Amino acid sequence: MAGRAVASIGECMLELSGAGDGGWALNYAGDTFNTLWAIRALTPADIATDYVSAFGDDPFSAGQLEFFSKAGIGRASSPVIAGARPGLYAITLSGAERSFTYWRNDAAARQLADDQAALDKSLQNRALVYFSGITLAILTPQSRGRLMLALDRARQSGARIAFDPNYRPRLWPSEQDARSAIADALSLVDIALPTFPDEQALFGDSTPDGVAYRLSAAGVGEIVVKDGENPALVVAGDVEQQVPAVSVTAIDTTGAGDSYNGGYLAARLAGFEPVEAAKRAHKVAAATVQVRGALAPFETLRGAFTPA
């Protein structure tokens, strides 16, 4: 393993969430950032965590980077692009279930892989590199190629590569484009963290076992198939085990799967075996859905992660 540092690649957006009084609260979130947030909360301070993306030079981007810094999250060699700005989304809730409206077509993060040298540098000396299907979806095919090259180089240098396919149909030109890009990515993946309904929608898998079998056949050695409130399926080496979820009353399910991924990866970085990591991840996700927005306070995540 090349080092102890962690990098997560993707798009962190401006998040507008209902403040409960008819107003809106401004936060920062995005699937791969939400996962890194949990990893930052749950790993020792001397393990560097960097969010690898591209950023604008507007006041909102400056506020975003200041937010990162206060949380102990760096940006590695990610570029700041003159005239660019971050994407934006708004959350509306029906009970605890959420829906999203996006403004992201010209977001700076779409240029995160334009500079191969900067991207390679951002992924150097990493113990773990994480990305998602959304990371792939916001990039052009040429940029995805540069990302795959950087991931391959990081992996050859000792990094473990973790991936959540996180299929979002609206981001892809077609299902075939999504299937092809995700299949290419899986050839570089050590740890896969798919969600069963996403995989069923894109690949037609009829059961979580079917998802795990397909990813194993693609060469992925460690797989956790999430399935909402149902048990997660862990397949790693000789282990194949269902791990029950934690039952709680959800307030807001935004970021639940992302925080699960962060809890799982933090546990694996700490040396826990996959089944124990999945148990801790369920607790982290359960804590997240009991607060509003995608990012639970660090103290909340730590309390859930560490058994009493």
State yes or no: pLDDT of 20 exceeds 70. Answer: no
Give residue limits of the domains in the chain: 5-11+31-58+69-80+109-302
Q: How far is CA 184 from CA 136, 179, 198, in A?
A: 10, 9, 17
Mean pLDDT value across the chain: 94
β-bridge partners, 94: 97
pLDDT tens-digit map of 67-113 = 999 999 999 999 999 999 999 988 776 765 667 788 988 899 999 99
Q: Strand 160-164 to strand 239-243: parallel, antiparallel, or no bridges (unpaired)?
A: unpaired
Prediction pTM value: 0.95
State yes or no: pLDDT of 1 exceeds 50. Answer: no
Specify the pLDDT at position 96: 59
Neighbours of 211 (CB within 10 A): 26
CATH architecture for residues 5-11+31-58+69-80+109-302: 3-Layer(aba) Sandwich (3.40)
Q: How far is CA 211 from CA 44, 94, 198, 214, 281, in A?
A: 33, 30, 10, 5, 20
Catalytic sites, residue numbers:
258
pLDDT tens-digit map of 194-252 = 999 999 999 999 999 999 999 999 999 999 999 999 999 999 999 999 999 998 988 87
State yes or no: pLDDT of 51 exceeds 70. Answer: yes
